[in-house]
């Protein structure tokens, strides 16, 4: 068991309930297939690797453990799943850090599920940055963040309007107001709308190994003229 937890914030893949902005452009069926490919890439990349992997899922009523077992059957028993808790994203993020602190992890790295191209190197950089910083953030190009890492659950979430371009800056300000040091990783884009998806498709055409399941899914979608 590692002293570092890698938590992935996910929504159970259910038609019409995931990535609704993207679905308006490419349809609910294609969006469901694509999101399942995102999760498969993340599971294959991080399962059985350096860190203990934890899936923090919503909605709570779904059997996410059974779904994960279909992605990486050989590692399913080595990963934990637990439902997100709280009425809003900020509260749920805080609760993930709290849950993993209770489980005796010294470092927790939390990522979303909207950047299937996120690399192992980025996770390693986040862990190393915790040697010099209290809060590590991976800036998303839309003004949010794709990664947040801390030793303990500092309250850097409340009062921040999530899913806006002010999220990153307000989080930095909230951390610094508490005397916490902040380290920023390299920016990364996440996939929320069709232009992001086109950008990801172009990236994976150059190097499909960044997210092979997603690359295959996008190639099939292109044949069907969805993109």
Q: Which of 59-68, 72-81, 145-154 has the lowest mean pLDDT?
A: 72-81
| Spacing of C-alpha 51 from chain mean position | 15
Query: What is the C-alpha separation between 189 and 115, in angstroms, rounded?
Result: 7
Query: What is the C-alpha separation between 24 and 46, in angstroms, rounded?
Result: 30
**Tens-place pLDDT, residues 154-200:** 999 999 999 889 999 999 999 999 999 999 999 999 999 999 999 99
Count CB-CB contacts under 10 A for residue 105. 23
The rounded radius of gyration (Å) of the Cα atoms in the chain is 17
% residues pLDDT > 70 (the chain): 97
pLDDT of residue 76: 82
- How many domains would you assign to the chain? 1
Query: What is the C-alpha separation between 179 and 5, in angstroms, rounded?
Result: 24
8 A C-beta contact, residue 4 and residue 107: yes
CATH of the domain at 212: 3.90.550.10
Count CB-CB contacts under 10 A for residue 185. 18
Domain range for 207: 4-223
**Tens-place pLDDT, residues 32-73:** 999 999 999 999 999 999 999 999 999 999 999 999 999 999
pLDDT of residue 227: 54
pTM of the model: 0.95
């Amino acid at each position: 068991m590692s002293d570092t937890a890698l938590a992935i914030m996910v929504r159970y893949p259910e038609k019409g309930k995931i990535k609704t902005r993207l679905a308006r452009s490419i349809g609910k069926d294609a969006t469901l297939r694509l999101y399942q490919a995102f999760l498969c890439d993340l599971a294959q990349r991080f399962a059985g690797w350096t860190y203990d992997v934890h899936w923090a899922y919503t909605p709570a009523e779904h059997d996410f453990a059974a779904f994960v077992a279909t992605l990486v059957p050989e590692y399913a028993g080595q990963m934990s799943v637990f439902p997100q808790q709280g009425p809003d994203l900020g509260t749920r993020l805080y609760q993930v850090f709290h849950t993993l602190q209770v489980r005796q992890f010294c470092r927790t790295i939390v990522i979303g599920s909207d950047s299937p191209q996120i690399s192992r190197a980025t996770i390693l950089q986040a862990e190393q940055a915790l040697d010099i910083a209290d809060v590590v953030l991976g800036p998303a190009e839309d003004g949010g963040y794709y990664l947040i890492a801390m030793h303990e659950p500092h309250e850097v979430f409340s009062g921040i309007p999530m899913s806006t371009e002010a999220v990153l800056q307000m989080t930095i300000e909230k951390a610094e107001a508490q005397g916490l040091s902040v380290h920023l990783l390299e920016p990364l884009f996440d996939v929320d709308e069709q232009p992001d998806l086109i950008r990801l498709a172009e990236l994976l055409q150059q190097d499909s190994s960044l997210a092979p399941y997603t690359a295959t899914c996008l190639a099939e979608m292109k044949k069907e003229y969805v993109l």
